[in-house]
Structure 1
Amino acid sequence: MNEISMKAYAKINLCLDVLGKQANGYHQVEMVMQQVDLYDVVTVKCNPMKKKKNDVQITDPIVVTASRNDLPVGETNLAYKAAKLMQETYKQDSEIYIHLEKNIPVAAGLAGGSADGAAVLLALSQLWHLHLELQELMELGVQLGADVPFCIMGQAKKMQNLQLRGKEWASTCAFAEGIGEKLTPLPPLDCLVLLSKPSIDVSTAVVYNGLCLEDIKSHPDTKELILGLKEKNLRKIQKNMINVLETVTLRDYLLVAEMKQYMENFETAYQVLMSGSGPTIFALYTNRKKARLAYINSKKKSNETYLIRTLS
C-alpha cells in the first residue's frame, strides 16, 4: 500500500478560557474541544525518492494540491509541514504527494488546517508501518500547532485498522490545558450542530493579542461542564459554554457579532457560541426539526453553513 485517504474532522470549542500569558508569549488556556462530522478528505501517496546520477534530489519531495485555488499549498501549509516533520523525524526516503479535498471553511476557528496536518501524520505513520504510540504522534503534532494533538486523537478514534499503540487515548472530545496540547479524553457530546461562518477571516494571533484578561466578566466553570458531559446533563453543559475570546472578536468584527445575534434570535438552540477565535458561530440542537429550520434561515446569511452532528 502506497496511498491512503482519510477524513480530517473539524472541531468546535464547547468552552474556552484564558488563564494568563506565559513568558514565551503563548497563552495558558483551559477548554473543552469536540469534533464534528464536517471533514476534509486528505489523500497521501508515497513513492520511492527519484534522484539524479550525482544523487542530487530533482524536485521538492513533498507536493501538496488542494480543491480550493485560494488555499496556499507550499511550505506554510500545515499538511506540507506535517510531511516534512515526518520525513525529518523518521528518515524516510520517499516522495510524498498530498491532496486536500477541502470542505471545512478556511480560517474559521474550526481547526481545518490542524486537522489536515494531523491526517498527514496519521497517514504516513500507517504507510511507513511505524507502529508508533498515539501519544508519541501527538507529541510530534504539537510542533505544528496546539490544536494538532487533539485532531490526532479524534481522528484516531474514527480510524479502523489503526497501527498505533495506546489507542485508549483516542477520543473525539477532550479537556485541553497548557497551550491546548495537554489533553484528557472526555465522553463526547451527542447532538446536532449548526455551523455558520460569516464571509470574513479572523486571525487567531490578532484576537489573542487583543485580549485583555481584566475585561473578561464571565468565565466558564470548566470542571462543571466536564461533569455535565460525564452525567449527560445538558443544563450543566449549557450554563458553562462560554468562550472568552468573544470579548475581542465580537467587539472588533461586526459580521461575527451579527451572526451570533441572528442565530440566538431563533431561540430554538440550547446554546449558541463562537468556535475558537472565530469567525464561525455554532448552535447546538437536540430537535432535528428546529435545527433544520434554523439551518435554512442561517444559509440565507452565509453560504458556508452546515447542519451536522457531533462525533462519538
Structure 2
Amino acid sequence: MGACRLMAIQQLPDGRWKVDTEPIKSRRFRKTFKTKGEALRFEATCRAKCIETPDWSPRPRDRRCLLELLKRWGILHGNGLSDFEGRELLMRRMIERLGDPVGCQFTAVKFAEYRAKRLAAGISRKTMNNELGYLRALFNVLIEFQEIDYPNPLATVKPMKLQERELAYLDHDQLNRLFATLRSMQHVHVELISTICLATGCRWGEAQGLVPSRVKGGAVHFVETKSKRRRSIPITPELEARILDHFSKHGLFTNCRNRFDKAVKEAGLELPAGQKAHVLRHTFASHFMANGGNILSLQKILGHASVAMTMRYAHLAPGHFQDVLEFGPTRDFRHFFDTSPLAEQEDQKKA
C-alpha cells in the first residue's frame, strides 16, 4: 500500500466542493458536498478506512422514501404485531399525507408543521400523539436492525400534553336500569357478557372471546388479552355455573357490542365518547376502590402493565385526600365556609 495517489478537493462554480481522491491504487472515490469541511472529512475518512481495510467503500446515501422504509419495518418487526394490518394501514396513510419524503431528509420541523395542519383541521391531540409514537418507533426499529445509519429525526419531538378524560362509572341505580334494559332485549348473549365484564373488570372483547375451557376452578381465565399476559379472575360458583350452562345451551358468545351500546342509550345513560362498553370496566374498578380495594391488586385484576394507569381510580378510595378537611383552612375558619344554623350555634358556644 502506498501513500495517497490522488487528493483533490476543489470548489465548483455553483459553490459546492468536489472530492476526488485515490487513497490507494485502484481505490478512487468521488463525491460532492455543500461545505469544504464536509469534503475534508470525507477525504480523511476514505484515506484512513482504506489503509485499515483495503476493501472498504463508503456507503451510498440512503435515498429510500418513508413508504419503502415502512415495508422494511413490516418485514423486520411489524408482522409480529397482533394489530399489524391496522397499524400498517394507519402509518401508510400518514406517510402519504406527509408526501412520502426521503427518510434521511425528514426532519422534526417537517413533522411539527404536519401536526399543526392536522390539529387545525380538527384532528385530536391524542391521534397526533399516536402518529408521532408510531413513526418514531418505525425509525427506532430500523436503527436497531442497522437498516438505516442516520439518527431518528423525531427523537427530540415531544408528545403533546392531554387533558385527562373523565372516567364514567355507574352507580347502583344506573346499573339496575342498564341490566333491566339488557334483560329485555331479544339477544341471547349480551346480558351475560355484560355481567362477566362487571364481575371481573375485563374488557368487552375478553369476555366475548371466552370458551368453556377457560371457565373453571372458580375463575375465568383470560388468555387473548391486550397486554398479552394471561389473567385469572375469581368468580362466584353461581356465575361459573351460569356461564357453563349458557355455553351448553347456546354455544359460544357472538359479537353483540352494538346491542350493548343500544341498551346504554335506551336506559338513558349519558356517557363520554368511546366509553360505552368500557363503562363496565370503569364501574368495576371504581366500586372496587370505593369499597376499600388495594390499588396494586386492582392493577393485576385489570391487567395494566404499569400502576400509573391504575392510579386513575385511586381518588375513589376511602380517605383519599381527607387531610384536606383535617388540615385545610375549613378547620380554623369555618364561618367562611359553613353558614348553617348548627355551625353558628357551635361558634356561639365557643365564644
TM-score normalized by structure 1?
0.31
Larger Rg: 2
Structure with the largest fraction of strand: 1
Which has the larger helix fraction? 2
Bigger relative CO (Cα 8 Å, ≥ 6 apart): 1
TM-score (norm 2): 0.28
